[in-house]
Every structure is written in C-alpha cells, then in structure tokens.
Amino acid sequence: MKSNYLCAAIVAVAMGLSNAAAFAGAADYTFESVAPEWKKGDDVVVAVRLTHKPSGKPVADAVIVRTRVDMGPDNMADMVSPVAAVPSKEPGVYAFKTDLPMAGRYMFSIAAKVQGEPETVVGKVILKAVK
C-alpha cells in the first residue's frame, strides 16, 4: 500500500514540474545594456544582452523583430533615431548602429522571438549618451 502512495506522489511531483515549464513565458527574459554609457554621435554601435532570468544565461540566436530608439526618457519621444542591426561577436549580445546626436537618455525598445518561446520577448533599455 505504501508503494502505491509513493508512486502517486512521484507522478504528482513529475506532473507539477512539467506544468511549471509550461508557465515559462516572455517575462523570464530581460534585455540590458552592455555598457553604462555610450559616446554621443552618428553611427554609434550600441549593444544589449538578452538573458534568461531563471538560469542567468545569455540567449543566443533570438530573432529581433522590432527596434526603436528615441529620447522619451528626456521628454523628447518624437526625437527618433534610425536603427540597423550589425554583427555581434558575443553570444546573447545584439548590436545595433544608431544615432545618439546629443547627450542624454535614450529609450531603446526591442522585441525578439526566442526559440521555443511562443510569446514575443519585449524590452525597454535606457541608453545614456555622453559627450
């Protein structure tokens, strides 16, 4: 009789663990700037790291589907800069060429598709441009 209870307990734990994986979502990922500051100017290459929060590991091979750079944090959201992806040498780091024409704070909005994740991962990163 005890072995039946043990089997039932093992099955319950296994089902609970499999359901926990099903609840993973886009909120399990975060984007962050790889540098605290960037030099202002045209054609500045900025980079962000995509990390899986539960494991702390960088996420390589995500497909970037949307980007935007503007000065929203300094109340100038209509001041938008062009953004173009450029190659990155580090797994989990995504690099982009953009214009940071003046010193201040820029909002880098980014959306990505991560393999195995049905939801789009969305992030907003503050980039600080200095002289």
Total tally of structural domains belonging to the chain: 1
CB 36 within 8 A of CB 128: yes
CB 30 within 8 A of CB 123: yes
Show the domain range for 110: 25-130
Does a structural domain hold residue 71? Answer: yes
Burial of 96 (0-12, 13-18, 19+ CB in 10 A): buried
CB 107 within 8 A of CB 75: no
Q: Give the pLDDT score at 3.
A: 52
Burial of 104 (0-12, 13-18, 19+ CB in 10 A): middle
Specify the pTM. Answer: 0.80
Q: Give the pLDDT score at 14.
A: 43
Does a structural domain hold residue 75? Answer: yes
Does a structural domain hold residue 102? Answer: yes
Does a structural domain hold residue 107? Answer: yes
The CATH number that applies at residue 47 is 2.60.40.10
User: pLDDT (tens digit, 0 to 9) for every residue of the chain, 131 residues total?
Assistant: 555 544 444 444 444 443 444 456 899 999 999 999 999 999 999 999 999 999 999 999 999 999 999 999 999 999 999 999 999 999 999 999 999 999 999 999 999 999 999 999 999 999 999 99
Does a structural domain hold residue 100? Answer: yes
- What radius of gyration, in Å, describes the C-alpha atoms of the chain? 20
